[in-house]
Amino acid sequence: MPVPSGSLGPYKAKRHFGKTPEPRARRRRSKDRHLFVVQKHRARQLHYDFRLEADGVLKSWSLPKGPSLDPAVKRFAVAVEDHPVDYTTFEGVIPDGEYGAGTVMVWDRGRFGTEDDTDVAAARRQGRLQFTLEGEKLKGSWNLVRMRGNSWLLVKRRDGFASKKDVTAAAPASVASRRLLRDIATDEGGDVEKAATGDPHKRSRARKP
């Protein structure tokens, strides 16, 4: 069944907040009310978490592969539990033994808009959402389309921001700290060797601004 709308119960139930540095399950709206974030997450497997603000939470999808700027490439996405809006700034290490244990990077973030001010939660229930992104790496128009259950596709629409460039390889560092995954793990006590498998090979340490 599709993930229920607007509930932080599943998020809270999966986490021990005395152990994980992740934000607590607090429902609130940002001043902008249209935030998005894409987090690069090296847990058991490397993946990207795509999140859009709606109804005081972040509607969330997990992508086994990062977003593609090529409209011909359809990225598989799985709808997961809502996250708190405070998660837009979360970057760090989730400890071993905790849900999603591993290194998390703020890979991209910014604001988004929907066509004709479509309600995100309603569009998600209906299974189709068209939106524009204004991030540092991701820009322009996109579609999220449900196939069945919690299985979706994320697709770039044809516009001036479409490209065949592999943006995940070309821009691997955090937009928040300019660090690579292994740098975040090194700085914050994570598994450096595991995190490094999500970085480009033969890259020097990224410097903080």
What residues contact 201, with CB distance under 8 A and at least 6 apart? none
Sign of the four-CA dihedral 144, 139, 204, 184: negative
The residue ranges of every structural domain in the chain are: 9-193
Q: Which of 116, 85, 114 is nearest to 22 (CA)?
A: 85
Task: Please state the rounded mean pLDDT for residues 43-56.
Answer: 96
Residue 205: which residues within 8 A CB-CB, separation 6 or more? 180, 183
Confidence band of 6 (pLDDT split at 50, 70, 90): low
Q: With bands split at pLDDT 50, 70 and 90, how would you rate the model's confidence at 40?
A: very high
- Kindly list the distances between the CA atom of residue 23 and the CA atoms of 12, 26, 84, 85, 122, in Å, as whole numbers in the listed order: 10, 8, 7, 9, 25
Does the pLDDT at position 202 exceed 60? no
pLDDT of residue 208: 44
Residue 96: predicted pLDDT: 96
Query: What pLDDT, in 10s, does the model give residues 131-179?
Result: 999 999 999 999 999 999 999 999 999 999 999 999 999 999 999 999 9
Beta strands in 10-88 (DSSP E): 35-42, 46-54, 57-63, 74-84
Using an 8 Å Cβ cutoff, are 79 and 2 in contact?
Answer: yes
Whether the CB-CB separation of 64 and 7 falls below 8 Å is answered with no
Q: Return all residues near 78 (Cβ < 8 A) that are at least 6 apart.
A: 61, 62, 63, 150, 151, 152
Tell me the C-alpha distance between 147 and 67, whole Å.
Answer: 17
- Tell me what percent of the residues of the chain surpass a pLDDT of 70: 93
CA distance 100 to 27: 21
pTM of the model: 0.91
pLDDT surpassing 50 at residue 51: yes
Q: Hey, what amino acid is at 23?
A: P
The Cα–Cα gap between 99 and 79 comes to 16
